[in-house]
């Protein structure tokens, strides 16, 4: 008989106009890694928010049985007292505080007088950091370490709470392949120590690699739970469960009609860090993009791809920027983001929740805000026109929402991404830069976004795609540029490119650095 550490029975959660969870059941065995998969909006994160107390008892129906006892969690502190700790997709760390201060924030180490015992705080922080392989000093500021290490801080923070059941929501969405594998191997190591984990991820290769069992959720309902004893489960079976149909091709077919005309060109571009002004983030970069072309940029985390693209988009990043930009054969001097938009250049950020969208505002507002001149006259917005435009994009993008007046923050990650793309498509750019366009979204939504990209280039526009997923670049791009440590270290055509060649270009350039 199975030893269940957790049973969630008939969980139902309603939002206005939406049934987010409909009689969901989940059973997690003690000491296993259990993957929870499904399309964006399927209810995965909502289910985990119910478990953690983020959605308190009374706001849903159903039962939670943990360690054989029925539990009613009214807040996240109630679940943490029993060893249930959730790490959300958006890391909850404060950049200006140290690693140790973040690790024990709200869980302070105090002396007998009720004051913070800093010696004990830093000592215990260092001990937990060793468990996750962090070699930094515990008094380093969070803002001074990369995203991968910040994820490790979150895990160390969970360990400091005597975690028994660890929930990770898209833990590798912002990590490169090397850091992702290291994190998954760490979970496998914790499993040997008896820790139980629930992992939400859209990366099916990760599911196959680490999960003992997989539960598929679709449209707020449990579809099935699959065994994965040999870590070789068929990805196609998971996809069929997620989307309700077979997805025979991950990348929609496109007739590659690249024009001779160069639409966007960059020559000898350099940009330096905005704070550490002696650090060059992109050095002597030159490339070009033709009409009808999808150009990819590959590289490990910290390679300088995002910094390069942001600096090209109206100097929205960096200092001491130099070099030349050409759009439609004419040199342009883009002083700010507005200049870039007016010249037909758009940039869809990798961080949609912080820099891409205004979460508290409506879909309609977010869709039109990049070029409001199109729906206004003499500074007055035509609300009917705005709503009409937003509804057209919701239909075209297949965005799941009860209304265009819905706040974007209430949408799933994939649907937020569709609103972000709608915003830039409404601005009618000639060149669209997409920075990690499918990060944290499911295979079905990815396929739809790939189709949108294909439609754009079929109209003679150009797309630059920055992605940490090599299969995505190989499946979508006509040419791929490879960056490492701020430099271009390789260029491949679609016919010549392979994952091995791209990684070899990166690694061999490291040897020469």
Q: What is the mean pLDDT of residues 103-119?
A: 86
Highest mean pLDDT among 33-42, 216-225, 240-249, 319-328: 319-328
**Same CATH fold, 292-317+331-512 and 4-243?**
yes
From the options 3.40.50.300, 3.20.20.70, 3.30.930.10, 3.50.30.60, give the CATH code of 292-317+331-512: 3.40.50.300
pLDDT of 388 reads 94
pLDDT of 225 reads 92
Confidence class of residue 89 from pLDDT cuts 50, 70 and 90? confident
**Hey, where are the domains in the chain?**
4-243, 292-317+331-512
Phi, psi of 420 (to 5 degrees): -60, -45
Residues 449-491: pLDDT tens digits? Answer: 898 899 889 999 999 999 988 888 999 999 999 998 899 999 9
What is the Cα–Cα distance from 319 to 512, expressed in whole angstroms?
A: 27
Percent of the chain predicted with pLDDT > 70? 97
Q: How many CB atoms lie within 10 A of CB 469?
A: 17
Q: What is the mean pLDDT of the chain?
A: 88
Q: How far apart are the first and last CA of the chain?
A: 57
What is the Cα–Cα distance from 299 to 297, expressed in whole angstroms?
A: 7
pLDDT of 509 reads 65
pTM over 0.85: no
What is the Cα–Cα distance from 85 to 158, expressed in whole angstroms?
A: 6
Would you state the CATH architecture of domain 4-243? 3-Layer(aba) Sandwich (3.40)
Do 419 and 367 meet the contact criterion of CB atoms below 8 Å apart?
Answer: yes
Highest mean pLDDT among 78-92, 102-116, 237-251, 328-342: 328-342
Q: How many CB atoms lie within 10 A of CB 255?
A: 8
Do 473 and 462 meet the contact criterion of CB atoms below 8 Å apart?
Answer: no
Residues 207-261: pLDDT tens digits? Answer: 889 999 999 998 889 998 999 888 878 777 887 787 776 555 678 888 778 888 9
Q: Which residue has the higher pLDDT, 55 or 248?
A: 55
- Residue tagged 């929930």 (tokens): 167
pLDDT of 247 reads 57
């Amino acid at each position: 008989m199975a030893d269940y550490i957790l049973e969630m029975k008939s969980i139902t959660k309603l939002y206005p106009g939406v049934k987010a969870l409909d009689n969901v059941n989940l059973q997690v065995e003690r000491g296993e890694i259990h993957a929870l998969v499904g399309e964006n909006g399927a209810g995965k994160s909502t289910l985990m928010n119910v478990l953690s107390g983020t959605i308190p008892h009374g706001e849903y129906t159903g039962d939670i049985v943990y360690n054989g006892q029925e539990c009613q969690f009214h807040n996240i502190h109630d679940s943490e007292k029993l060893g249930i700790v959730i790490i959300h997709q958006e890391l909850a760390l404060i950049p200006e505080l140290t690693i140790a201060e973040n690790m024990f924030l709200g869980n302070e180490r105090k002396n007998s007088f009720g004051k913070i015992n800093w010696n004990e705080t830093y000592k215990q922080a260092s001990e937990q950091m060793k468990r996750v392989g962090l070699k930094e000093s515990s008094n380093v500021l969070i803002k001074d370490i990369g995203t991968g290490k910040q994820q490790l801080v979150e895990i160390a923070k969970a360990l400091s709470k005597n975690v028994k059941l660890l929930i990770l929501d898209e833990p590798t969405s912002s990590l490169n392949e090397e850091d992702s594998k290291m994190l998954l191997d760490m979970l496998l190591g914790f499993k040997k120590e008896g820790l139980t984990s629930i992992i939400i991820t859209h990366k099916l290769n990760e599911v196959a690699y680490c999960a003992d069992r997989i539960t598929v959720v679709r449209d707020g309902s449990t579809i099935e739970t699959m065994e994965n004893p040999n870590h070789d489960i068929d990805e196609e079976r998971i996809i069929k469960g997620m989307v309700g149909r077979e997805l025979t091709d991950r990348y929609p077919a496109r007739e590659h009609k690249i024009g001779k005309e160069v639409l966007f060109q960059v020559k000898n571009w350099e940009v330096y860090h905005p704070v550490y002004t002696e650090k060059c983030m992109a050095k002597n970069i030159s490339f070009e993009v033709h009409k009808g072309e999808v150009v990819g940029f590959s590289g490990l985390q910290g390679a300088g791809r995002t910094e390069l693209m942001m600096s090209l988009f109206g100097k929205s990043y960096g200092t001491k920027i130099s070099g030349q930009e050409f759009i439609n054969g004419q040199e342009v001097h883009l002083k700010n983001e507005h200049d870039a938009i007016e010249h037909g250049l758009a940039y869809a950020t990798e961080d949609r929740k912080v820099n891409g969208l205004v979460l508290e505002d409506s879909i309609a507002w977010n869709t039109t805000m990049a070029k409001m001149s199109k729906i206004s006259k003499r500074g007055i917005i035509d609300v009917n026109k705005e709503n009409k435009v937003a509804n057209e994009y919701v239909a075209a993008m297949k965005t799941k929402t009860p209304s265009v007046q819905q706040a974007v923050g209430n949408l799933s990650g994939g649907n937020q991404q569709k609103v972000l793309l709608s915003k830039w498509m409404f601005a009618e750019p000639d060149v669209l830069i997409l920075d990690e366009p499918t990060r944290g979204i499911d295979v079905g939504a990815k396929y739809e976004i790939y189709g949108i990209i294909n439609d754009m280039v079929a109209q003679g526009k150009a797309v630059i795609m920055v992605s940490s997923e090599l299969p995505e670049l190989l499946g979508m791009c006509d040419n791929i540029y490879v960056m490492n440590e701020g430099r271009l270290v390789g260029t491949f055509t679609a016919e010549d490119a392979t994952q091995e060649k791209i990684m070899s270009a990166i690694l061999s350039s490291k040897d020469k650095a």
